[in-house]
A and B are shown apart, each in its own frame.
Chain A
Amino acid sequence: MDTRELKKAAADVRIGVIKALHNAGSGHPGGSLSATDIVTALYFDEMNIDPKDPGLKGRDKCVFSKGHAGPAQLSAMALKGYFSMDEFTETLRKIGSKFQGHPNMKIPGIEMATGSLGQGFSAAAGMAMANKLDNDPGRIYAVLGDGELQEGLIWEAAMSSAHYGLDNLVAIVDHNGLQIDGRNDDVMKVSPVGAKFAGFGWNVIEIDGHDMDQIKDAFAKARQCKGKPTVIVAETVKGKGVSFMEDQAGWHGKAPNDEQTQQALEELEAAKAAL
């Protein structure tokens, strides 16, 4: 998909996120909006998938290891046609809905239940191991948060993925610099992220996580890398696209009220119209 169309799709994904979280009355807008451009590029450009056949043999898989930002993935999947956008935005986090607070196996196209940080990455590594065993061409994309990198399990999985030469695995770190209690640097320093992964034997690509051309280019470069896994360290802005949410740790885990929702949607629609 061309860059302009991708940007429009990303705007629609953001609109879906805001509507769903507003209706839910809870959830995590900040990290969903920072990861939106990445996840949009995955579902609309990079991945070999078919929303009408979620179990397609040889498909690529996206594991949202930062599961709290799952609404970004679900909104992208709804837009792609896995399920209805209305059902997602109206029932997310509500009793009886398949759209739980975090991604889960009842949702068509979700490959792994996530939410407990670090575990999605480890499962993604296992999927990449399975594909190597089966000579399955499918590639595995794991979206990680930067706060999530504080989990020890992340580095266990980083070590084993390099050890087993999983060049079919791509980790994308949504590096927005913020977590619930504040800045990564104040809570628990995770930087330099790229150097840490490099030390574990990974191919490292550093990009602006809101620049579609850079995102597409990074995925293409990752495909060229043989013998080791690739991490794309994407510099992002938490709450990207909604002025009052941008770079605010306070918007990690709360839903916008009616007035805030109206403003957010107006801003997103205006940005989309300007494309």
Chain B
Amino acid sequence: MADKIATRQAYGEALVELGKEHDNLVVMDADLSGSTKTAMFAKEFPERFFNMGIAEQNMYGAAAGLALSGKIVCASTFAMFATGRAFEVIRNSIGYTGANVKVCASHAGITVGEDGASHQTFEDIALMRTIPGMTVVNPSDAVATKKLLRQIVEMDGPCYFRVGRAAVPVFYGEDDEITLGKGNLIRDGKDVTIIATGIMVSAAYDAAVMLAEEGIDARVIDIHTIKPIDEEIIIKAAEETGAIVTAEEHGVIGGLGDAVAQVVVKEHPCRMAMVGQQDTFGESGKPDQLLAKYNMTADDIAEVARKVL
């Protein structure tokens, strides 16, 4: 876990690679192309890049029209404005029509940092999960971002793809298999399972290492595809470890925790606890300071895991 790369950076690089392979890939942005990293695609393929200005609803509405005309569209802005401001356009113009639009949002979660609560979204996964037919993906590092972006671009239909602002550890190797809709077993264990998504996967791994020193054998699973969720790997974890902790850089209402709980309650009820933003707004600060203050660190995951045992 040497290198640290922001998943948005990997997103920008992957778009350029995919643009070379897919002539019908179109990228849109709402005046944040430097931050979301779509500027890299814009430089390479200016004729296939549309800056729509500060008008997120129209960006996703026009994206639907482009997609229904045969384009694969990746349309990016900050997660707050993509899923919040443009929610109903995404729901009706993209979800209901099944348009081949990838809502690729960056700056999700508390690690947006200094911009503060107005820009820190903890609702985006919850909002996108509610739309029928919407695939929801939250990659955990730069490698997963590239591998999963390729799969969603090559899949027909609407998708929400969530990346972050802050540089995070790269823990997957280039040869690791990362498949849309399949959870990844990061570490096996028998006492408790930590199911994490996005940047919390590396924290979950660190927590498992801490717990191992205390004699607690924690399993760690990366659920990068929150919808459709890998029920099999969750049920197996519930059956074999009897306790589950979820960890997400997102609100505990409606996100990964709820998605896992829906599987567990239905198939194999077990003890559960959720690490994430606890029904409160964020604030300005450094990403590490904020993760600590809002209890989303490896220490917090380990503490919750001890309690759920």
Contact = CB atoms under 8 A, between A and B. Distances in A.
B61 A127 contact: no
A113 B98 CA distance: 10
B219 interface: no
B93 interface: yes
B130 interface: no
A124 B65 contact: yes
Interface in B85-141: 88-89, 92-93, 96-98
Given A105-B97, A119-B92, A153-B89, A129 B50 contact: yes
Interface in A39-74: none
Contact of A159 (B55, B63, B67, B96): B55
Contact of B96 (A113, A128, A152, A164): A113
Contact of B93 (A119, A130, A160): A119
A152 B61 contact: no
Given A104-B96, A119-B92, A130-B70, A125 B65 contact: yes
Contacts, number: 101
A123 B97 CA distance: 11
In which size bucket is the chain B interface?
A: 20 to 34
Contacts of A131: 69
A122 B92 contact: no
Contact of A126 (B57, B61, B88): B61
Interface string B52-94: 1101011011111111111100000000000000001100110
Contact of B48 (A105, A119, A133, A157): A133
Contacts of B62: 122-123, 125-126, 129, 157, 160
Interface in A90-109: 104-105
Nearest to B64: A123
B94 to A, nearest CB: 9
Contacts of A12: none
B223 interface: no
In which size bucket is the chain A interface?
A: 20 to 34
A119 B61 contact: yes
A122 B71 contact: no
A172 B50 CA distance: 25
B213 interface: no
A156 B31 CA distance: 14
Contacts of A157: 58, 61-62
A115 interface: yes
A123 B50 contact: no
Most buried by A among B69, B70, B89: B69
Contacts of B48: 133
Contacts of B55: 156, 159-160
Given A115-B92, A129-B50, A164-B50, A122 B68 contact: no
A163 B28 CA distance: 14
B53 A130 contact: no
B3 interface: no
B214 interface: no
Contacts of A126: 61-69
Given A116-B92, A123-B93, A153 B66 contact: no
Nearest to B26: A133
B68 A127 contact: yes
Given A133-B47, A156-B58, A122 B98 contact: no
11 contacts: A112-B93, A122-B65, A126-B63, A130-B70, A136-B69, A152-B57, A153-B57, A156-B58, A159-B55, A160-B52, A160-B53
Given A157-B58, A164-B50, 16 more contacts: A105-B98, A113-B93, A113-B96, A118-B61, A119-B92, A122-B60, A122-B62, A123-B62, A123-B68, A125-B61, A126-B63, A130-B69, A134-B70, A156-B57, A157-B62, A159-B58
